[in-house]
Structure 1
Amino acid sequence: MSKTIKTILSNLQTPVKKNFGQHFLINKHKIDFIADKLLDYKNDIIIEIGPGLGSITERILESTSNIVCIEKDRVFSAYLRDKFGSKKRFAIINQDVLKVNFNEINRLQDKMVFGNLPYNIASQIIIKFVDELHDKKTVGIFMFQKEVAERILSKPGLKSYNAFTLKIQSFFDVKNILNLNENDFWPPPKIKSTLIMFTPKQADRYIVDNYAEFSQFLATCFKAKRKTLINNLQDLYPKEKILSAIEIIATRQDIRAEKLREEEFVKLFKYLYRYR
């Protein structure tokens, strides 16, 4: 498949753009695996971030699904429009994904979002996904470099466990569904990749009305890792209220943020939000 990609790039007279994080998935079995996972949501509109030359896009269009691709590369965008533009179930947005509002894409239909994310902006994209769709029951399937994947999947007590982890896990159950090696791509990256599924948590777990405040709360909890949770939170809430909340939720007043589970952060925030 790498020969086919090289031929297409040669015909398009375009190089692989490293600044766009372009690495093309060439392992057919893993392409099929991903496409099959996406087609579990064929009744939703599928949003594909960074379709590249359309190997997964093509598989989706073989079904009855509608797909909207977001592709920053002008050459690839034009190529995909020429290749799939005659299909009514296909649309493409030639824009930087960080400038696209997911909520503006087909407001009347449920969405699922997929992306083989550029390594250099993967964290920004996933935070955008959570910010915009945390209360929309939207499933996401994303490919990350191993280091970012470890932060997303992290657990209390691990060094990789931080506000980024909690912001995601407070609204989505996350699961590693596929590991990918360097040779699964062309050109091969220098790192391994992980495919993670984001499944929305039950509606009663959402913090919709005060999402911005919750994000600030999490950032403050992890502001200084060596400080206790009480010391970090004093900038936001009265100390006596923090002490009361910690006594209810945790067993020790000197506990640090990296020791609390996601559901404990949610309870702590709900208690303290009244005293902001």
Structure 2
Amino acid sequence: MYRDEIQKLCAEYGIVPSKSKGQNFLLDESYCDIMVQSAELTSDDVVIEVGPGFGVLTEKLLQTGARVIAVELEKKVIGYLEHRFKGSAHFKVIEGDILHMTNDTLHMTHANYKIVANVPYAITSPILKAFLTAEHTPSQMVVMVQKEVAERICAQPGKMSLLALSVQYYADVRIVAHVPRTAFWPVPEVDSAIIVIDVKTQDKENQRTEERIFQVARMAFAGKRKQLKNSLANGLHCTIAEAVALLESVGIDPSIRPQELGVGEWVRIAEEQEVRCKK
């Protein structure tokens, strides 16, 4: 859509774009094409779109033949979407906050589904966590997020963070496009990026190990400038010698810092720590 079209719709429906709600409307539709192509949608797919706005991305999703469930907070926008897509049997809009919805609410109890969305910046992390840890996870997420957040999510060992670990434990991630702030109206203060999150199949039997991984990682990243042996000794309430022994037993340098570890190393630490707790 052109800027004047969006401004006209905002005026017609009495909408004042809210910075706190992350209401920045995408002008350059080529980025919607990238998102749809990255999702590799077919008529067998079910897609959840969070914050559809005036339906620019929605229309392109529907053109693939996929069924689209849009989740929108703004009642005035919902009215527009219902009118615009009233002829589509594959479109449904649900009013509400995505963070307060369950799989049942979204009718995703048994369906294989994907997330394709321009995610409001303020709730990026909670949305990712909610879907990646849901009982029925999506098979894939293609989302537009703040560029800095995208780079943190896709970081490699040396620049890892708790956010990167929290996503990469559950999925393989990659950046497929950078989106300048000028592609939106109103123009946000930051640039964006499109990331693809291919969700891994999780073994439900590993829930205890999963919990321990993040418990140990939180302890370590609380002192990310410290050597890992010191962070773990503080967090696990053990001696530095015991922390060194734990790390060396799984082939990890005790003097390394948390941001230098990949997902596999955190799994090894958590599994070894669990074994030691049972002794």
TM-score above 0.5, yes or no:
yes
Partner SS state of residue 265, structure 1: helix
Distance 1:102 1:73 in 2: 21
The CA RMSD over aligned residues, in Å, is 2.5
Partner SS state of residue 247, structure 2: helix
Residue 246 (structure 1) aligned with residue 228 (structure 2): no
Offset of residue 229 of structure 1: 2.0
Offset of residue 258 of structure 1: 1.4
1:53 aligned partner: 54
Offset of residue 152 of structure 1: 0.6
Distance 2:104 2:212 in 1: 21
Alignment match of 1:112 (pick from 114, 119, 124): 114
Length-normalised TM-score, structure 2: 0.87
Contact 2:69 2:94 in 1 (8 A): yes
Distance 2:237 2:87 in 1: 57
Partner SS state of residue 93, structure 2: strand
For structure 2, the residue ranges without an aligned partner over 5 or more in a row are none
Identity %: 26
How many pairs align? 273
Amino acid at match of 1:16: P
1:132 aligned partner: 134
Length-normalised TM-score, structure 1: 0.88
Offset of residue 208 of structure 1: 3.9
Offset of residue 181 of structure 1: 0.8
Matches within 5 A, 1:186-225: 186-201=185-200, 203=202, 207-225=206-224
Offset of residue 153 of structure 1: 1.3
String of CA shifts for 1:121-145, please: whole Å, max 9, x gaps: 2222222222226x74621111111
Partner SS state of residue 236, structure 2: coil
Partner SS state of residue 34, structure 2: helix
1:178 aligned partner: 177
Offset of residue 50 of structure 1: 0.7
Amino acid at match of 2:176: I
Contact 1:41 1:112 in 2 (8 A): no
Contact 1:50 1:72 in 2 (8 A): yes
Distance 2:269 2:23 in 1: 41
Question: Aligned pair in 2 of structure 1 residues 210, 44: CA closer, same or farther (>3 Å)?
Answer: farther
Question: Aligned pair in 2 of structure 1 residues 226, 60: CA closer, same or farther (>3 Å)?
Answer: closer
Offset of residue 42 of structure 1: 4.4
Offset of residue 241 of structure 1: 5.9
